[in-house]
Chain A
Amino acid sequence: MERRTIFSGWLLPVLLVLPQLALTIVFFLWPAGQAMWSSTTLTDPFGLRSRFVGLANFRHLFADPLYVATIWRTVEFCAAVSTLAIAAGMVLAIAADREIRFRGLYRVLLIWPYAIAPAIAAILWILLLHPQIGLIGRWLNSIGIPWDYQLNGPEAMLVVVLASSWKQVSYNFIFFLAGLQSIPKAVMEAARMDGAKGFFRFRTVTLPLLMPTVFFLLVVNLVYAAFDTFGTIWAMTSGGPGKSTETLVIKVYRDGIVNQDIGSSSAQSVVLMGGIILLTILQFRFLGRRSGGQ
């Protein structure tokens, strides 16, 4: 959609768009270019020696079974977090969409968790699940169920999945509620007239109408799970024990910042960019809508 009415002149608009453009170029395009260049070099941390190695960094990366394992782990993690968070958000929204008492209060009480920082979600969940001081973790051990996510990989994975999806429920809830409210009352009435009941009505009428929201949230949740959970995982397990909770972003951070392996981490950044471009294209293909990238 373009506007017919337009101001004339070019100096003012250029000045107006300049700050945004300058920031974008300096902090987005330059680093992206730098990443692509560094991903083809072997550089020491001080930047004293830099040697072009072609695609060797990528070859090393994909020849490393541990990196491939991390890719799959990230995929599983994202799938688990997205499924849990979307399902919980949908169930709560359907309940809150009913004409019941206190629904305004319920909504407020389910919206505020949007404000919780991922890293702080981690603290809350540590206090629930930590084997020595956590409320639930301690209780499990006291009734004889051995629980120690600092040492048990699957348990650690469960812990970071729970904390990460918990934080995202409220976001999904808000969108599902909006989606439900935009379903015309007449449609629901018609369904009721036809005698569609309970779960059947949900499956045949409500769910199909919610599908655009589900798809949209799926992409947003996948992006969230892949990138924004860094704070949660880093604070809870730092990727351990072993590598059992190491996602791609954790690995980029560890290799690039902690280990100062610039070539490899740049190659990993490029792989991640590829991944997110793929997700964005997917979203456009299926939705024709733009993402909530921020």
Chain B
Amino acid sequence: MHRRTLLTGAGALAVAPAVVPAARAQGAKTKIVFWHAMGGANGDQINRITQQFNASQNTVELQSIFKGSYPDTMNAGIAAWRAGQAPHIVQVFDVGTGSMLAAGPAVKQAWQLVKDTGVKIDFGAYIPSVKAYYSLADGRLPSMPFNSSTPVMWYNKDAFEAAGLDPEKPPATWQEVVSMARTLKDKWASKSQDRMAVTTSWFTWIQLENFSAEHNLPFASEDDGYKGLGAVLEINNAGQVKQMQRLLDMAKEGTFKYGGRDALPDPLFFTDKAAISFGSSAGRGDIVRNAKFKFGVAELPYDPTIIKAPNNTIVGGASLWTMTAPHRTEAEYKAVAEFYRFLGTPEQDALWAENTGYVPVTFAGFKFAEKGGYYTKNPGADMASKSLVRGHLTVNSKGLRLGRLPEIRNIIYEEIEKALQGQQNAKQAMDNAVKRGNVVLRGFQRSVQG
């Protein structure tokens, strides 16, 4: 008896279908499915958007499903397409863009979608550095920019005060970071075994990808891969090696501490252990909720010996891709386009940004949030948007368009971790990363040119 209830319970779980085929039976509502990777508070925002979109009209019913992490969501989308059951919309992280562009008939690119359905979406409304990341070489958009963040520098004002530094003057250059880190270490971090002067989340994204963009250094040939599949990595050049060596030297003198890959080091900052931490602007929510100290936020520092005036930083986050499936109707594609249009309206764009820490992806969205007084009430919240429009948008600061970029990031992590253990210096680490990364790039090139 007991076992039976357990099994029926599980049966009920299993029945909830992954994809609802366009059911015309009840009413005339077109059903579309959206797979996303937003858990926690950001997931609640997706649910809010879903409800508001469904309430805003009566022809389309949107169903949003959380599919786990970014890679899980993307892989689920790929597997579903192969099985002929792809969702209408899938949220794909920035670094998956290269792979999605090679997806051919599996996706309907955004510009094509707009052309086919005639739904009015103004691509010109999107902030250039956001749009540039996802654009094709000719400027057309294959996917819709959605949640976008950019790296910023978080710092602990209480720690600055304790170390006798001006809490309103965060370091603007890397030279200042190095010297302030020494002061922070001596006067603040040395007080507890858990504390450290500087750490960074998203090591590869922030200290290499964004560092290269800021300093107008190519990350890879072919305009960071935007011009063709034949790109090779160029991160073993003097500028990047200098930055890596700087971090290695800081680690050696105890002013920088590596806290792990991706976002793993995030808690080090808001639990009062790191005085300076580089992280995503989207980490704001967690910091506001958890930090029991005064904190500040600033743009990424730069190295004036490499560039006089730094470029914009690049975005991270994800965009929305429209997927195809057998028997998908015009009405369904139109519904998808309507949803994209809804997301791009200033109030939705602003609401999303205000509640998550991502930046508004349209100018109008930013203006809307500004007019609503969001940025005066939350000083520093506009830092990410400012960082995205500073300096010049060049071929080196658009972003990266490399296949299998997640794998390349892992290779870089591995080589950096070896260097941090003292097994190699910065130049060797970057040389190895280039060598191994290029093998991955060639493998991708072979597999898509078939």
Contact = CB atoms under 8 A, between A and B. Distances in A.
A118 interface: no
Interface in B396-445: 404, 406-407, 410, 413-415, 417-418, 420-421, 423, 436, 439, 443
B104 A42 contact: no
A52 to B, nearest CB: 11
B414 A263 contact: no
Interface string B235-262: 0000000000000000000000011110
B117 interface: no
B450 A50 contact: yes
Interface stretch (A5-13, A163-171, A188-196, A235-243): A235-243
Interface stretch (A150-158, A207-215, A267-275, A282-290): A150-158
Contact of B193 (A44, A142, A152, A241): A142
Given A45-B99, A261-B404, A150 B447 contact: no
Nearest to A154: B421
Contacts of A47: 82
Given A151-B420, A153-B421, A242-B421, A46 B406 contact: no
Chain B at the A interface: SS class: helix
Contact of A48 (B105, B273, B421): B105
Interface string A248-262: 000000100111110
Nearest to B259: A150
Contacts of B261: 240
A153 B436 CA distance: 20
A23 B407 CA distance: 34
A24 interface: no
A46 B92 CA distance: 15
A103 interface: no
B194 A48 contact: no
A258 B406 contact: yes
B106 interface: yes
Contact of B413 (A48, A153, A240): A240
Interface residues of A, number: 31
B57 to A, nearest CB: 32
A48 B273 CA distance: 49
B447 A242 contact: no
A242 B418 contact: yes
A60 to B, nearest CB: 8
Contacts of A42: 446-447, 450
Contacts of A66: 436
Given A44-B102, A49-B448, A260 B78 contact: yes
A85 B415 CA distance: 32
Given A46-B104, A259-B404, A260-B75, A242 B450 contact: no
Interface in B252-302: 258-261, 273
Nearest to B258: A151
B167 interface: no
A34 interface: no
Contacts of B414: 240-243
A46 B258 contact: no
A98 B448 CA distance: 66
Interface of B: 71, 75, 78, 81-82, 99, 102-106, 193-194, 258-261, 273, 404, 406-407, 410, 413-415, 417-418, 420-421, 423, 436, 439, 443, 446-448, 450
Given A46-B106, A254-B410, 10 more contacts: A42-B450, A44-B450, A45-B99, A46-B102, A48-B450, A151-B258, A241-B414, A241-B417, A258-B75, A259-B407
Interface of A: 42-51, 64, 66, 132, 141-142, 150-153, 240-243, 254, 257-261, 263-264
